[in-house]
Amino acid sequence: MPRAVVPYPQDHGLALGRALRVVGLLSSRPDMRDEEVEAALIGEGAGPVDAWLLTLLVPSALSHPVLRGLGVTGFPSVYGVRKRSGQCAYLPLAGEHYFTAALAWAEELFALAPADRSLTVEAWHAVAGRSAEMGCVNNMLTSHGPEGLRGAVNEPTNAGRVYR
């Protein structure tokens, strides 16, 4: 029998608050390096792993509604991390409350008309544009044009660091 995925962190208010803090940081300073975002979050009380997860997962979550609008139909349920042994392990996105909270917020916001959103299109792109998913999409658009995305399926994001 499969184990139930317990979201981390368990507190939805904390997860959403920190995810929205990332949105605020990146939309106010789109040129911020990941290390600067992480340092700001750590300075506000997040642990180093949490800061890294937020920096990785929030842009990814905000990219999903944009990608759906472009015709992408498949999204992964996991993301990859490198273990100390060098092997890749896949962890469930459903267990990452930072991701699920940001995704639910983004989908709700993206359903509104752009003029009714609390986040400008430029700010949205400043955040979502940092994701690996948007990087792949931009490459596909350059190579194959807009029709190249119809029915595309996203592969799991692979984080470049060793954690957990």
Domain boundaries, the chain: 12-157
What is the spatial distance between Cα 8 and Cα 127, in angstroms, rounded to a whole number?
Answer: 22
Judged by average pLDDT, the poorest of 22-31, 115-124, 130-139, 146-155 is 146-155
DSSP 33: -
6 phi and psi angles, rounded to 5 deg: -100, 120
The answer, yes or no, to whether residue 87 has pLDDT greater than 60, is: yes
* Strand pairing class (158-162; 88-92): unpaired
pLDDT in tens, 45-65: 999 999 999 999 999 999 999
What's residue 164's pLDDT? 41
Task: Count CB atoms within 10 A of the CB of residue 152.
Answer: 16
Mean pLDDT in the chain?
88
93: closest CA among 8, 3, 2?
8
Judged by average pLDDT, the poorest of 7-16, 97-106, 128-137 is 128-137
What is the spatial distance between Cα 70 and Cα 144, in angstroms, rounded to a whole number?
Answer: 13
The answer, yes or no, to whether residue 88 has pLDDT greater than 80, is: yes
